[in-house]
Structures are given as C-alpha cells and as structure tokens.
Structure 1
C-alpha cells in the first residue's frame, strides 16, 4: 500500500478540478454540441485553403518567374525547397507534439507565413531593388520559410481534425484544393487585368495575404466553439485514462457502502488500508478482498448491498456460488489511486511516444503507402513538367491553363471524396499504383523539347484533368479513413503520421522531377519555330527604273 500511496491518492473531482475541467457531467461522445450554420466546417475549409495558399501563390506566378529568370529551373527549385522544408517541419512537429498545443503551433505557422509573404510581395516584387541572383536566392529562402510555417499548420490541423468526426478532415482537404482553384482564378484575373507582369503579380500576392489575415481571425474564433471544446475534452480524457488506474491489492480492504445521497442505484467504493479486522481480531483472508474479479461486484444487480459490517449470527452466510446468482447493484468509483503524469521531456515519455507512433504506423501503413504514392506521382509532374509543356497557340498561357485545370479538378475530386463509399485498403493501393501511368504520358507531351512525341494542346490538358481529379479523390480518402482505424487517444498521432507519409511522397516526387527534366533534352530556342518553321518568302527578280536606279522593292522583299 505504501507504493500505491506514493503514486498519489485523490478524488476524481479533485483530478478534474486540477485539470481545469468542469465538475458537471461530461457529455457523451454520441451527443456533441451542434455545429450551427456549419461554422466549424467552413472555418476548417478556409484553413485548408490558407496553409497551402502561399505555395500555390509562388507556383501560379510561373509566367512572372520564368520571365524574370529565363533558362533557369526556378519552378523545380522552388518545389524541391518547399517540400524539403516541409519534411523537416513535419518531423519537428511530431517531436514537439506534447510540448505545444494545437493553437500555439497553428498560430506560429500563421505568423511565419504572413510575415514571409509580406516581405516577398513588398521587397522582392513591388520594389525589386535586388540583383537577379540575389532575388532568386531570396525567393528560394522565402519559400523554404513559408513551407516550414505552412506545414506546421498542416500537420497540426490534421492531428486536430483527427479528433473530430471524419467530415471535418474532408473539409480541410477540400480547402487545400480550393486554395489551388482560388489562386488559379486569381492569377487569370490579375494577368488579364494588369498587363504589366510585375504589377499583376504584386496584386496577386496581395489578395493571398488578405485571405491569410481572414483565416487567422476565423481560427481563433473556431477554437472557442463548443463542438471543438467537446471533442478536445474527450481526446484529453482518453489520453490520460492510462494514468488514472484503480489499484486493488490483496492486502487492502475495499468496503462497499450505500450512497450518501440515498440513491439506491449505485454505491460508493471506498479503499482502506490496512485491512479491517474481524471480530476475532484476525485479518480477513486475501480471497475476501474486493477486486473486479470478485463476484460481489456485478453491474446487472437490482438492489444495493452493504458490506460495511460483518454478518450477524442470525443471518445466513452467503456462499460464493450463491453470490454469483444473486442480483447486485451497480456502483460508481468515488476515490481512485492514480499515477502522477510524467514530464513530457523525460526519456520514458519520449520512448513511449516512439512506441505509440510505431504502433499507429503498423495499424495504418496501407493508408500511408497509398497517400505517399499519390503525391509522389503528382509532384513528379506538377508543377515542374507541367510548366515545360509547349504550346504554339497558347504561348505563356499554357502552363497557367494546365495548372488551373489540375487545381479545379483536384477541388472536385476532394469534394467527391466525401461520397459515402467504403474504400478498401487494396482498392486504394491499386488506384495509387495505376496513377503512375500518368508520368510517362505527361512526359511525352514535353519530351523531347524540339519535337514532343504527343503533339497538341488537348492531350496535356486531358492528362492534367485526370491527374487533378485522381489526386483529389485518392489523396483525401486515406487521410480521412486513417484516424478512424486507431483509438481516440491516438488519432492526433495518426493524423501526423499520415502527414509525414504525405510529405515523404511530395519530397521523393519533387526529386524525381529533376530526372524527368533531364529527359526533356537541352533547350533549343523557340520550339514552335522548329515544329512549325516559317516558310521562305518568294523572291522577286530585280527591277530597274528608267533612271537606272535599283528600286527599293527588291530590298524590302528580302
């Protein structure tokens, strides 16, 4: 008992008060507060758009960056830097999961993204006071910083929505696609409305910054919503449940008494030490001590029973076999023995966290592999190879159209992911593998540069549509299903593990895109001049005037 007392002995009400929880009855998981006007859903939708908005803003300004840095690999470099920084951020977020709250991590990410976007818009695009080499470096550093802040938000949001019903995870993923669709529409409008590339790109970034400001305010309002507080409370209780344990040892006495309130539907379980003595002064046998295996405790009972006093001589003794057949009342536990929580920075806590992540990964690995394959295929082609597909009719509009088609149908695909169809793990893995066929098909639309094997504007647009729609569906379903495959206390870990696999697919895909770029061959001037060479003009025999001077007509024709 001394060891038990060393761990701590407290009332449940005291434990809840120490946590800052209300003493009223906690709502059941099946009856959460209503989400009036779908305010939480819409806020998470905006959140999904906001944390991918900076990356999409850099990518959709492809025409400006290619004009500023011709003959460079700016789109490939920005994509790789972003994904590398994102992988560092998601690993860091997993390690610091227990040290900072959702709100702290998300607020940090919002501030970092806002500050970096403001700097790039004002200093590097609006002012343009740097040399091309310095400006190029600033863009890469800026997108790396933005990636860290945005990925901390992304991983935190997926861990956060893992604690909520699945529809809220789908809201975040639909918002991610909405970010791409919004910036595509924004870029088309600004490019058409402002003929100067620098001015149109500056206004394009300004609109993105305004959305980030709106998202910051909506997030802090959402965190106070009763629905969010309800599910966060349930998750916190599930996490700490392992630290609140009832310790009953054979040498301890447990006395079952009636409730002080007079309610006969339950009793109160009291723990006492040392064991009470019988009338003869001898301790009760160890077999008479109360435990959950003891037949005295039966939740299907109908009448209260008091064991506070030993039976008198006139009362018949109840045998153990008879006790099994006798209805007994249900009881609540008033006092518990609990283990004091360990500091999150201790080695034991770190080791336990690693084991928990390994157990979660083993439970959801098909979904991790599936989402990794999906984003590996996507980043192999988008935005790098998509920005290299030539068009002699559309010119500089071609990469914008391809990216807009991808983003629009990615948005539709993420909405379609909410369709109530139960995808099996094998179906998700098969669909993710089939998408790999899009890599050679899209590559043939750009390779070799001087004469692509698949010529025409319709084919790359069609491939971009299929790439976007399949990315929306099969990039969302695994993320939605994975948290439901583990216990509530591990759902945040599941969301973060899925984000880790997601970013692993992004990083490997962006690296493979450099290999695909090398397969396009060297740049050889204007490909349209090679595909559609300008015909030679007819020659005109020299003509002379009566004065003997050669007319300027021959010179003009040549």
Structure 2
C-alpha cells in the first residue's frame, strides 16, 4: 500500500503525483482515499445502511418500469391483434405493426434516450437535480397510470391509435427513465463508491424481478390482461415508492454530509486551468454558457479509457443478448417436455443472465480490482469478445449460412450465459463507478451523465450490429 502523501486530493478525486511509483494495477480506488472528508468535518455513519438501501431501491425503480413494459410481450400481441373480439379465421388488422412492434419500441426508446441524455448534460447546472429527478419520476408514474388504465379498455376499434399511444408512451418513458437514472447516478458520484454500486445493482435487480415475473406468468398461464395489469400496478407502486425514498434521502445525516455544497477543486499539477474555472477569476454571469454548461473536454479526457471499456462491454453484451441468445434452442426440443420448449429460454437466458448480472454487480461491493488506470481492465473487456463465437456455435436456430453446431449440449448455453452476465455486471459496474471518482467533485454529476451516454452508445451499436450478425448465421 502507498501512503496518502503520494496522492493529491481534490474535492472528490484522487490524483497520483508525478514522482509516485505506484504500479497501475495497484491503483484501485479505496474509499478512505477517495472519500476523505475535508479537515474539520467528521464523516457520519450510514446507520442501518439506509442510504445504501435507498439507492438500491432507486436503481430498481429506475429500470423496473421499462423492463415490465418490454416483458408484457403477450399483452401487446393481444392488443395489436384485436383479440378482444376476433372474427373466426380473420387476419389481424394490424399485422404489419405487430410484426415490427419490438423494432418500433427499440427505435423509440433509443432515440428518446440519446436525446434526453444530451439534454440532461446541458441541464446539469441549469436545473437543480431534485427537480429533474422528481419531474422524471412524476412523468414515468403518469405514463404507467395511463397504460394501467388502458389494460382493461377494449381497443379493438382503434388498434392503430393504441399502437401510436404505446410508442409515444414508450418514448416518453424511456426519456424520463434516462434522465432519472443518469441524474441519480451523477449524484452518487459525490458519495462513496458503495452507493454507486447499490444504484447499479438495483438496476440489475429490476431485470431479475421482471424475469421472475415472466416465469410466474408462463407457469400460471393466466389471462394476458390480468398479467399486464399486475405488471403495471407493480411498476406504479415502485415508482411511488421511489418518490418517497428520494424525498427521504436528504433527511439522513449521512446523505446530507455528501450532498453539501461543492467548492471548486484544485487542478492536477501540470495541467492548465481554464480562466473561467479558476477560483480567482470573475464569476460568470448567471445563465452564461461558461457557468451553466459543464466542461465536456476534460471529462472526456479523464474518462477516455473507462469510456472505451463501457462502450465495448455493452456492445458485446447487446450483440449477443437478446438477439442471439434468445434464439438458442434446447438440443432436446423434440422431446416435447416443458423444460426444452416452454421454459428453456426464459430460464437459461432471461433469468440466468439477469441473475448472473446482478451477482457480478453485487460482487463489486467487496472486490474492486482492477483499478481505473490498470491495463488489465480493458484487457478483460476485450477478452469478452471470445463469448461471441461461443454463442454463435451453440444450437442457434434457424441457421442458413453457418450450419455447424459445435456445442451440442444444453449445459453450454447455461455456462456461456453465466459468463456473459457475470462479466458484464462486474466489469461494467467497476467502470461506471470509477468514472465520477476520477474527476473533481463538482464535475461528478456531469461525468455520471457522460458515463450513461457511453453505456447508451454501446447498447445502440451492439443492437444495430446484432441484426447484421443474425443474417450472417
């Protein structure tokens, strides 16, 4: 271990001196170095892990509604086929929108997410974070209340209108969810890393809950509208809970300590400071671009390596899951058992991936290696490329060009999915947590938004390339 004298401390980040000989692989960010309280301030304890639990719950609430929106696939099929009063042998009126419904949802979600991430970055210093968080939660709750009310409404006479309403709601929900998640994640940059980890793990828990809900729905085989109603009501409750928990957060002494006002930090020795960032420079006029828009270039410079890791991590993950992995069939599908037909994909792909992803993210609460500047981290990220051929040569069906199935056992997709989820959860959480910690505290929130943009970019690139890969198999 190195002494604390080898480091320069800003309000939030840890810098190594030019003369420090600390190896890169020993630069793991330790809480006692990263979150060293200023002189004269005693850091309070997180009694009963209250702040940790709140951030974990906010992570669940931020992604659970979107997961439930996507999980209710049978409900959307029911609604868009006019199944409330179908004529015998009559073709569904909305066959085109039904066939491409998921693609429309993906486009609406992606476009809204990217635009709202850009808007949130511009609003970091213009609109207080509590307004952005509460407004996004209110919008998400309003959207889900509308969708909940429409569950029991007969929409067979206005299928295209219902489709348009659904797409618009998905776009608004995705945008509001993006603003909420990126804002709260940026806020955790001022807290110890365990709180960032709690928020990210909560998001994985949201995916796991939705996967379990899908399995329960398949096992119960209940009416699709009842299932959708249960999904949407659960999301409504979680969103309402998030509002209450977020308003409770500033009342905790531990949280108030880290939410204290930010003062400008000292720049790293040897780096040139911009005039408008200097404590001795005249303050910019209210509303000016210098004071209202966070500086993007230093954030990109500091987080370039971590940004590459995040983009490539989610690129590989979204390239495989769900486009490739969900089309892997059991090699014993012909037996007709429920395991090899009805439950194989929900169990071995959806539930297993989300659970492994959750375990990987939760593991960062105890183990935080490699460090942010270690070359091992991007090396491990690049190593995940090997998972791609593993999934391709499982029993993916249908196959047109690549006829060879190298892994003829159901154990292989279980093993590969576990590796995909664990590596995605652990490595992505490390990279996301490190980002706001290697910049001054006053840039932590803006850096959190940038890290979210890296993640979104990786997902978009992977989803786009997955369509091409599917046609090559």
Question: Common fold, TM-score beyond 0.5?
Answer: yes
Partner of 1:35: 46
Q: In the alignment, is residue 48 of structure 1 matched against residue 46 of structure 2?
A: no
Aligned to 2:239: 212
1:56-94 C-alpha deviation (Å, 9 max, x unpaired): 112333454467678724444433432332111111100
- Tell me the residue number matched to 2:122: 95
CA distance in 2, matches of 1:502, 1:225: 31
2:317 aligned with 1:378: yes
The 1:387/1:104 distance shift into structure 2, 3 A limit, reads: same
Farther-moved stretch of structure 1 (184-193 vs 495-504): 184-193
Shift of 1:28: 4.0
After TM superposition, the structure 1 = structure 2 runs for residues 347-386 of structure 1, keeping only pairs within 5 Å, are: 347-349=289-291, 353=293, 356-386=295-325
* Separation of aligned partners in 2, 1:133 and 1:441: 41
User: For residues 512 and 66 of structure 1, do their structure 2 counterparts lie closer, same or farther at Cα, with a shift above 3 Å needed?
Assistant: farther
**Greater share of helix:** 2
Q: Match for residue 209 of structure 2?
A: 182
Distance 2:392 2:193 in 1: 36
Cα deviation digits, residues 426-469 of structure 1 (max 9, x gap):
22211221222323332343243477835554333332222111
Preserved contact between residue 170 and residue 414 of structure 1 (Cα < 8 Å): yes
What is the aligned partner in structure 1 of residue 344 from structure 2? 398
Which region of structure 1 is more displaced relative to structure 2, 463-472 or 391-400? 391-400
1:422 is the counterpart of 2:369? yes
Gaps of 5+ in 2: 1-36, 82-94, 267-275
Query: Is contact 1:442-1:463 (8 Å) kept?
Result: yes
State the superposition RMSD in angstroms. Answer: 2.8
**Structure 2 SS opposite 1:223:** helix
1:370 CA displacement: 0.3
Match of 1:163 in 2: 190
The answer as to whether partners of 1:76 and 1:513 remain within 8 angstroms in 2 is no
CA drift at 1:48: 0.8
Alpha-carbon offset, residue 369 of structure 1: 0.7
The 8 Å contact of residues 354 and 421 in structure 2, kept in 1 or not, is answered as yes
How far, CA to CA, are the matches of 2:264 and 2:248 in structure 1? 23
1:389 to 2:328 alignment: yes
* 1:254 corresponds to: none
Question: Structure 1 59/217 Cα, relative in aligned 2: closer, same or farther at 3 Å?
Answer: same
Contact persistence 1:446–1:452 (CA under 8 A): no
The question of whether the paired residues in 2 share the 8 Å contact of 1:80 and 1:510 is answered with: no
Is 1:170–1:417's contact at 8 Å kept on the other side of the alignment? yes
Distance 1:365 1:119 in 2: 41
Query: Following superposition of structure 1 onto structure 2, how do residues 55-454 of structure 1 map, counting pairs within 5 Å?
Result: 55-65=66-76, 72-123=99-150, 125-130=151-156, 131-236=158-263, 238=265, 245=280, 339-343=282-286, 345-349=287-291, 353=293, 356-391=295-330, 392=333, 393=337, 394-401=340-347, 402-424=349-371, 425-444=374-393, 445-449=395-399, 453=405, 454=407
TM-score (norm: length of structure 2): 0.76
**Local SS of the residue matching 2:375:** helix
Quote the Cα distance in structure 2 between the aligned partners of 1:81 and 1:461: 32
Q: Which deviates more from structure 2 when the two are superposed, residues 37-46 or residues 386-395?
A: 386-395
CA distance in 2, matches of 1:136, 1:231: 44
Q: Is the 8 A contact 1:190 1:203 kept in 2?
A: no
The alpha-carbon deviation at position 472 of structure 1 amounts to: 0.6
- Alignment match of 1:473 (pick from 423, 426, 447): 426
What secondary structure, in the 3-state scheme, does the structure 2 residue paired with 1:100 have? coil
Q: CA deviation at 1:477?
A: 0.2
- Equivalents in 1 of 2:208, 2:162: separation in Å? 27
Name the SS of the counterpart of 1:476 in structure 2.
helix
Give the deviation of 1:423 after TM superposition. 0.9
Question: In the alignment, which residue of structure 1 is the partner of 2:12?
Answer: none
Aligned with 2:222: secondary structure?
A: coil
Report the alpha carbon displacement of residue 399 of structure 1 after superposing the two structures with TM: 3.4
Aligned residue for 2:118, secondary structure, equals helix
Give the whole-Å Cα distance in 1 for the aligned partners of 2:421 and 2:176.
25
Q: What secondary structure, in the 3-state scheme, does the structure 2 residue paired with 1:127 have? A: coil
3-state DSSP class of the match of 1:418? coil
Cα pair 1:45 1:174 within 8 Å, conserved? yes
Distance 2:163 2:152 in 1: 15
Count of residues in Structure 1 that have an aligned counterpart in Structure 2: 397
Comparing 395-404 and 108-117, the one that deviates more: 395-404
Compared with structure 1, are the counterparts of its residues 58 and 452 closer, same or farther at alpha carbon in structure 2 (3 Å cutoff)?
farther
For each residue in 1:376-429, what CA deviation from the matched residue of structure 2 results, as whole angstroms up to 9, or x when unmatched? 112222233333334434334333221111111111000112233431432221
Deviations 1:222-280 (A, max 9, x none): 133222222222425659x96754xxxxxxxxxxxxxxxxxxxxxxxxxxxxxxxxxxx
Q: 1:134 to 1:109 in 2, by over 3 A?
A: same
1-side partners of 2:344 and 2:419: how far apart? 17
Deviation for aligned residue 1:146 = 1.0
Q: Cα distance 1:51–1:65, how it changes in 2: closer, same or farther (>3 A)?
A: same
Give the SS at the match of 2:147: helix
CA positional deviation for 1:103: 0.7
SS at match of 1:233: coil
2:461 corresponds to 1:508: yes
- Structure 1 CA distance, aligned partners of 2:317 and 2:234? 26
Q: How far is the alpha carbon of 1:205 from its aligned partner?
A: 2.1
Q: In the aligned structure 2, how far is the partner of 1:156 from the partner of 1:66?
A: 34
Residues 1:490 and 2:436 are matched in the alignment: no
